[in-house]
Amino acid sequence: MADGTSEVPLESAPPVAAPPPRRFSLVVTVFCSIVVALYIGLLGRPLIEPRVSPLAELDRPADSLDRLITRELDLRAAMRGGLRWEWRLYRALSGDEDPVAEATGWFEEVLDADPSPAAELSHAVLLGESGRTEKASEEISRWDADSDVDQRMARWVSAAYLGPPPAAEAGRAMITEISTQRPSNWFTNTLVKRIAARIGDTGARARAEAAILARGRALLFRARLLMAVSLALVLLGVAAGVWMLARRPPGPIADAPLPPIWTGGEGYALFVRALGAPQAIALAAFVILRRETGLGSLIGMAADLPLFLWVIGYLRARGSSMRDAMGLWPDRRRWSTLAAVWLVLVAVALLGDALIELASGYLRLKTHWTDGFTEELLWSSRRRVFLESFDASVWAPIVEEITFRGLLYGTLRTRLAMWPAALLSAAIFTLPHGYALAGSASVFLSGILWAVAYERTRSVLPGLLAHSANNALSTAWTLAMLR
C-alpha cells in the first residue's frame, strides 16, 4: 500500500455451529413410554377385541341406552311418514338394521351388567314389539314376586302382549297408571298404544301415537338442520377444491420445515412426553381426589399444559418457536388458501364418513352403541356440558394436532417419506380413540388427511381447524338428538 504497510487478509467468520441436541431425562422418557404403551393398548382394545363390553366405562348405561333407543325410534316413526328419499337415505346410512331387534340384544347386555326395573320393562316391551311373546312371558315370570313395582310392570306387559286382553275398565286404569308413573317416551307410549288397541280405546291409542310423532318431528327438524349444515360444508368444500384446481398449485401457506429441526430421538422424547405425561398427571389427580369432582374436563385440559412447556422450551433452545416450527400463523396473503384447504378437508372427511357408514351397512359390520358415545353430554349440568364441548371442539384438536401431526408425523418424516409417515401416524392416532372398526376407519382417514395437509401446506393449522369442525359437528349431533 502507499504507506508501506502490507495488507493483512481478513479471515472469514467461522460458521455458526448448530445447537447441540437436547438431552432428555432417560428416566422420564422411559416412564412416559410405558404410560403411552398402556394408554394406546387399553383404549385400542375394542379394535383388537371387539367382544369386550365397554359398559364399565359408563356411569348410567341403562339410562343412556334408554335415551338412545327412544330417540332413535321416535325419529324413525316421524321419518316413515316424511319424505321417501330421506327415509331411504337414513336407512342406508344407519345400516337398515331392525332397531327393535338390535336394541333387544343391547338391553340384554345392560341387564347382565346393571339390572334395574326400568331396563327390565324396556326389554320386555322390545320383546313384545318384535313378536317374541314367549320370551317376554319367560322374562316377566322371573321378576320379583314380592316387589310391587315388578308385579305392576308384569301386569302392564301382559295386558299389552300376552294372553287375552284385559277388561276395558282395567285396561283404561292401567293406561292411566302407566302414563302417570312412567316418563313420556317411546316405551311408555308404545305400551299404552298396545293396551289401548287391545281394549278398543281408539282415543288413547291416537294420543299415544301422536306423542311419538310429535317428539319424532322435533328430532327430525333438528336432524334436517344439522344435515343442511353438513351439506353446505360439503358443497363449499367442492367449490373450494374447484377454485384451487383452477388456479396454479396453491403451495404452502407457512414455512414449517419438514423434516423438522429436531432429530428422531428428540422427537420421540417430546412425543411420549406429550402423550404420556398428561395421562399420568390426570390419573394421579383423580386418585388423590378419590371422588368425582365434576371437574374432569378442567383437570384433563390442565394436565395437557406441560406439553406446551416442553415443546416451547425445546424450540426456544433451538432458536425457534411453535409458530415457526409448525406453521401456526400463516402469511396473511395465504389466508384465502387456508380457508379453501380447510373446507376441502372438512368436505372430504364428511364424504368419507358417509361412505364408511354405507360400507359398514353393506358389509353388516356391527357397531356397539357405546362406540364414540359421550355420556357426559346427556346427563351433566350445563356447566359441565359447556366444558366438555369446549374440550372436544377446541382444546382437544389443538393438543392432538400438535402431538400427532406436529410431533409424531414430523418425527416420522425424519426417517420416512410422506405417505409411509402419514399412514403410520394415522394408525397410531387411531388407537387411543378406542373405537371399533367403523369408528376407527373414520379416525384413520382423518389422520391421513390432516398429515398430508400438514405436508402440503407446511402448517398444522388446516388440519387443526378441520379437526375442530369435525368434533364440533359430532358434539352438536349428540346434543341435538340425545340431550
The secondary structure of 247-299 as a DSSP string is SS----SS---SS-SS-HHHHHHHHHHHHHHHHHHHHHHHHHH-S--S-HHHH
- Measured between alpha carbons, how far is 64 from 57 in angstroms, rounded to an integer? 12
Quick one: CA dihedral 163, 167, 171, 173, positive or negative? negative
Among the ranges given (29-33, 161-165, 245-249, 369-373), the one the predictor scored with the smallest mean pLDDT: 245-249
Helical axes 148-161 vs 168-181, angle rounded to 10°: 130
Domain positions in the chain: 26-44+220-482, 57-218
d(CA 398, CA 400): 6
pLDDT of residue 16: 43
At residue 469, the pLDDT reads 97
pLDDT at 399: 96
Nearest to 237 by CA among 355, 335, 339: 339
Q: Phi then psi for 238, rounded to 5 degrees? A: -65, -45
How distant, in Å, are the alpha carbons of 61, 89, 185, 354 from that of 69?
12, 19, 10, 22
The one-letter amino acid code at 314 reads Y
DSSP sequence for 363-404: TT----TTTT--THHHHS-HHHHHHHHHIIIIIHHHHHIIII
Instruction: Tell whether omega for the bond before 260 is within 30 degrees of 0, i.e. cis.
Output: no
Contact 422, 272 (CB under 8 A): no
340 in Cβ contact with 243 (< 8 Å): yes
Average pLDDT, the chain: 87
Instruction: Count Cβ neighbours within 10 Å for each residue of 424-438 and write b for 16 or more, e otherwise.
Output: bbbebbbbbbbbbbb
- Give the pLDDT mean for 16-24: 58
How large is the average pLDDT for residues 130-141?
A: 90
* Average pLDDT of span 192-207: 94
Look at residue 5 in the predicted model and tell me its pLDDT.
43
Considering the entire predicted model, what is its pTM? 0.87
The yes-or-no verdict on residue 311 having pLDDT over 60 is yes
pLDDT in tens, 435-448: 878 888 999 999 99
Opening angle at CA 312, ends 311 and 318, nearest 5: 95
Q: What is the mean pLDDT of residues 126-147?
A: 88
> What sign does the dihedral 99-101-106-110 (CA atoms) show?
positive
Query: For helices 461-482 and 437-457, what crossing angle results, to 10°?
Result: 150
Between CA 278 and CA 78 the distance in angstroms is 45
Q: 35-83: per-residue pLDDT in tens? A: 888 888 766 555 555 555 667 778 889 999 999 999 999 999 998 887 8
